Amino acid sequence: MFPNNDRLNSSRPSPSNPPTMQSLALPVEVIESVIDRCSRDTDTILAFALTCRDLHPRSTLVLFTDVRPRSRDRLFDLCDVLKAKPERQPFVQSLSIHWETFAPYPLLSILPSLRHITFDTFETYGERPILCHPSTLLCCRLSGIGIRSLTIAYTEFPTGGAFLQFLSAFPSIEHLTCDWMNIEREGEASPWVQKSLSRQLRLRTLDVSVDIGCLRIGS
């Protein structure tokens, strides 16, 4: 007579039944903390999402919380994914994008939870800053009302007035960072823009590094 090994066998994972989160016996907070700490490592987060169904929800959330498309094709791919899965649109809270590849519409309009946006460039220090295209200003005016934090780096505005016009597209910003921004020549904004900004802007933090002509100002 052979012993009954049903209970023993049932507790031993088979190749067709890989361990689940319960059998790993790790607190969910620990798993989520590990995923959060890998937030900058996209390959690792993708591996989490694709290899374990229990890690998929948190990994997906982290992947979409802070997105950094590095080409125009990637930008349009992101738009396609978010349109196909609208439940993920509220995940995106921060967007970092290059001036050269900026084609935000309709991306900004489908990100209801977007609070931070960074405009940067592929250009290295010492090369001529990128000019802000008028279409960028138009897109931001249409969809920038929810932005609370704005970072502008390595770009050029023809006058201070043009820079203030760009800021007016983000009426709700509280935190502004301008890094290696170039203003070609002095020039005041129109009275309407100045009055509008004086009513809108309620900055809590300001970090500025800007060139005006040959004068460099930092704070």
pLDDT tens-digit profile, the chain (219 residues): 444 444 444 445 455 555 554 555 677 788 788 888 887 788 888 887 888 787 888 888 888 999 988 888 888 888 999 999 999 999 999 999 888 777 666 788 899 999 999 988 765 545 566 777 778 888 888 888 899 999 998 888 888 888 888 888 898 999 999 988 888 776 666 676 666 676 777 888 888 876 655 444 455
Measured between alpha carbons, how far is 65 from 133 in angstroms, rounded to an integer? 27
Q: Using a CB cutoff of 8 Å and minimum separation of 24, what contacts does 165-171 make?
A: 165/137, 165/189, 165/193, 166/132, 166/137, 166/140, 167/197, 167/201, 168/141, 168/193, 168/196, 168/197, 168/200, 169/137, 169/140, 169/141, 169/144, 170/140, 170/144, 170/145, 171/144, 171/145, 171/200, 171/201
Indicate yes or no: pTM above 0.85.
Answer: no
Cβ neighbourhood burial of 201 (10 Å; 0-12, 13-18, 19+): middle
